[in-house]
Amino acid sequence: MRHLIKLFSNILTPTAKQFHKTLSHPEITQETVKQEIFNLLINSEYGKTLKINSIDDWQHIPIIEYDDIAHHLQTQNQQISLTPEPILFYEKTSGSSGAVKYIPYTQSLRKSFNQMFCVWAHDLITNGPKFNTGKIYVCISPQLNIENSTLQDDLDYLDGWLKWFLRFWLVIPEKLTSLKNANSFKHQLALALLKAENLETISIWSPSFLQVQLQYIQEHRELLKTELQNMISYPRLKLLDENNINWVEMWKELKLISCWDSVNAADQAYNLKTQFPGVLVQGKGLLATEAPMTIPLIQAGGYVPVLDQVFFEFEDDDNNIYNLHELNINQEYKIIISQKGGLYRYRIGDRIKVTHYYHNTPCLQFIGRNQTTSDLVGEKLQEDFVKNAIEKLNLQNTNFKSLVPVAEPPHYILLLDTATETPSVIAEKLDQILSESYHYQRARTLGQLAKPEVLISENIPEILVNYRLKNGGVWGGIKHQILVKSPINREVLEEIKS
């Protein structure tokens, strides 16, 4: 297989070399992609309504959010088209809050994802671990109990030739199209992963997706062992007898886990590193359903923007707009993207920090969503403040942390998967730390807010995932917020408490 991996690398080399050249000329590259995207805009029905004919009028294109164009992004009764290209399909994004969004995919947008994947894969083969088997599991996000599903798996982001080449190495669960519930999917995925003795790469979105799968294997190891008799080696079969399965021994060839590792996913990604010592746990950077934005490059020591496919604009806290080559190291910005699928000057809702420059291009680190605020009674809790408050609790070995508001009576609940201290002790500390916020402390003093609660259960992440799935979320891409803005659903809360 090693020779096939080298062949694959050789095929990717021209694309990778061309991309690396663009990093030396970010201003020129961005102007070129800006013109390409502008041509798509003015030839679309949406662009014609703007009555803009020259790229010199770019600043007159409105900066928009999803709700501003949602009526143009429905799969049915679409009012006007955002792109002159045919729409291949609509992909759902569950996002971190709010309703499900539908993002149109064109051939040009798919090529953007394709190019990003090629550059990333080439860098890994060239500068990363020595891959020998090529065996890879790429996250499949089942849309259970949904009649009109879109993507079957995350490889549908890629062009046909690349999917065809990769099929030799894929680990794919059986009976995928007939699965009707989450447990059936987890069972089939467990069997597929356990059969894949030579698994080298796991590519997922949220690290919690893998954590839930490992927990399923651990809890159902006796049944899995029975089904896998004579299908996997005896030493690996014996591992299923252990109360704490040695995952490194289960997949001795595993070299790479690719997943989100920033902000709310940081703790769970770190936990994967402790479970798989010696395995490269690499962050995905900014990769969203709307567009590929940054690529983790080993050579760069950070995340470089996909500057030849997406046109970037950056907004500071004073509402000043900057181009990519104008960014300053250690400064924070909100991202505005224009991509090749019909989104122009689109606020994607992410904040980045410039860590350093690689060649002449700034490397961008994702630091969170644009400021999230929860405000039940005027307490105005902000995400950054809550994140720091929870860090002060010094919760050892706790991976899942989410502060959620409750409408009646108004108060907050901190949801944890595990903790060494009792809920009452943690709740008392949390109340004291949150009271450092003037508005929160005033609301508590006036009796507008009741004391916070703490609920601890390893089942909490799965309960929340199942709720999101029932409401149209995409499993594998569901993000858990450190601070939730909307009050928690009463039925979900009752299930957690029970």
Asked if the model's pLDDT at residue 70 lies above 90, the reply is: no
**Position 127 in a domain:** no
CB 92 within 8 A of CB 162: no
CB atoms inside a 10 Å sphere around CB 7: 11
The domain in which residue 54 lies consists of 2-108+286-369
206 and 302, same domain (yes or no): no
Mean pLDDT of 178-187: 76
- pLDDT computed for residue 379 by the predictor: 83
Do both 379 and 489 map to the same domain? yes
| pLDDT tens figures, 467-476 | 877 766 555 5
Do 350 and 403 sit in the same domain of this protein? no
Radius of gyration of the chain (CA): 23
Asked if pLDDT for residue 342 goes beyond 60, the answer is yes
pLDDT of 148 higher than 50: no
Reported as a single tens digit per residue, the pLDDT across 278-310 is 999 999 989 888 999 999 999 999 999 999 999
pLDDT, mean of residues 399-404 = 92
CATH code of the domain in which 422 resides: 3.30.300
Tally Cβ neighbours within 10 Å of residue 203: 18
Residue 99 domain flag: yes
Residues 394 and 324 in one domain: no
Number of domains within the chain: 3
pLDDT of res. 277? 95
Residue 147 reports pLDDT greater than 50? no
Question: Residue 158 pLDDT more than 80?
Answer: no
- Answer for the pair 300, 358: CB distance below 8 angstroms, yes or no: yes
Residue 356, pLDDT score: 97
Please report the pLDDT score of residue 315 as a whole number. Answer: 96
Q: What is the mean pLDDT of residues 175-188?
A: 74
Please, are residues 129 and 16 in contact by the beta-carbon 8 Å criterion?
no
Contact (CB, 8 A) for 40 and 83:
yes
Residue 69 shares a structural domain with residue 162: no
- Shared domain for 296 and 247, answered yes or no, is no
Residue 280 lies in a domain: no
In a domain, 124, yes or no: no
261 within some domain: no
In the sheet with 401-406, reading across from the earlier edge strand, the strands are: 401-406, 411-416, 453-456
**Average pLDDT, integer, range 4-23:** 94
Which of 369, 396, 412 is the C-terminal boundary of a domain? Answer: 369
Q: Please tell me the predicted confidence (pLDDT) of residue 471.
A: 67
* Same domain for 250 and 311: no
Asked whether residue 400 is assigned to any structural domain, the reply reads yes
Confidence of residue 372 (pLDDT cuts 50, 70, 90): confident
Q: Do residues 363 and 296 share a domain?
A: yes
Note the pLDDT of residue 473. 58
With a cut of 60, say whether residue 205 has pLDDT above it: yes
Q: Map tokens 């970010």 to a residue.
A: 26
Distinct helix (H) and strand (E) counts, the chain: 17, 18
Q: Which two tokens stand for residue 60?
A: 């007159």
Answer yes or no: are the C-beta atoms of 358 and 21 closer than 8 Å: no
279 within domain boundaries: no
Span 395-403, average pLDDT: 90
Please say which residue of 369, 395, 419 terminates a domain: 369
How crowded is residue 442: how many other Cβ atoms within 10 Å of its Cβ? 15
In 3D space, the residue among 336, 331, 339, 315 whose CA is nearest the CA of residue 364 turns out to be: 331
From 306, 334, 369, give the residue that closes a domain: 369
Q: Identity (one letter) of the amino acid at 302?
A: G
The 8 Å CB, 24+ separation contacts for 108-112 are: 108/40, 108/340, 108/341, 109/291, 109/339, 109/340, 109/341, 110/157, 110/158, 110/159, 111/159, 111/309, 111/340, 112/291, 112/292, 112/306, 112/309, 112/310, 112/339, 112/340
Query: Both 233 and 137 in a single domain?
Result: yes
Question: Confidence class of residue 180 from pLDDT cuts 50, 70 and 90?
Answer: low
Q: Among the listed ranges 78-92, 282-296, 411-425, which one has the minimum average pLDDT value? A: 78-92
Q: Is residue 302 assigned to a domain?
A: yes
Instruction: Read off the pLDDT of each residue in 26-53 and give the average, rounded to a whole number.
Output: 95
Asked if residue 181 and residue 99 are part of one domain, the reply reads: no
Instruction: Please indicate, yes or no, whether residues 19 and 32 belong to a single structural domain of this protein.
Output: yes
Sign of the Cα pseudo-torsion (149, 150, 155, 156, in order): positive
Q: What confidence score (pLDDT) does residue 394 get?
A: 92
Sign (positive or negative) of CA dihedral 94, 291, 365, 202? positive
Pairing of strands 401-406, 411-416: antiparallel
Q: Most confidently modeled of 165-169, 244-248, 382-386?
A: 244-248
Question: Does 173 have pLDDT greater than 80?
Answer: no
pLDDT of residue 150: 44
Looking at this protein, which amino acid is placed at residue 385? F
The reported pLDDT for the residue numbered 390 is: 94
Q: In what order do the strands lie in the sheet with 280-283?
A: 135-138, 199-203, 256-259, 280-283
Is the pLDDT at 175 greater than 80? The verdict is no
Lowest-pLDDT range of 79-93, 142-156, 355-369 = 142-156
Our measurement of the distance from residue 329's CA atom to the centroid of its chain's CA atoms, rounded to an integer in Å, reads 25
Percent of the chain at pLDDT exceeding 90: 59
Q: How confident is the model at residue 428 (pLDDT cuts 50, 70, 90)?
A: very high
The helix/strand/coil state of 356 is strand
The answer on 198 and 232 residing in a single domain is yes
Mean pLDDT of the chain: 88
What pLDDT is attached to residue 442? 75
Better pLDDT: 313 or 150: 313
Distance CA 496, CA 498 (A): 5
* Mean pLDDT within 216-238: 95
The Cα–Cα gap between 496 and 463 comes to 7
Give the pLDDT confidence of 256-268 residue by residue, as tens digits: 999 988 876 787 7
Q: Round to the nearest angstrom and report the end-to-end CA distance of the chain.
A: 51
At residue 11 the predicted structure's pLDDT band, cuts being 50, 70 and 90, is: very high
In the prediction, which pLDDT does 149 show?
43
DSSP three-state, residue 135: strand
Q: Confidence band (pLDDT; 50, 70, 90) for 80?
A: confident
Between 190 and 161, name the one with better pLDDT.
Answer: 190
pLDDT at res. 71: 82
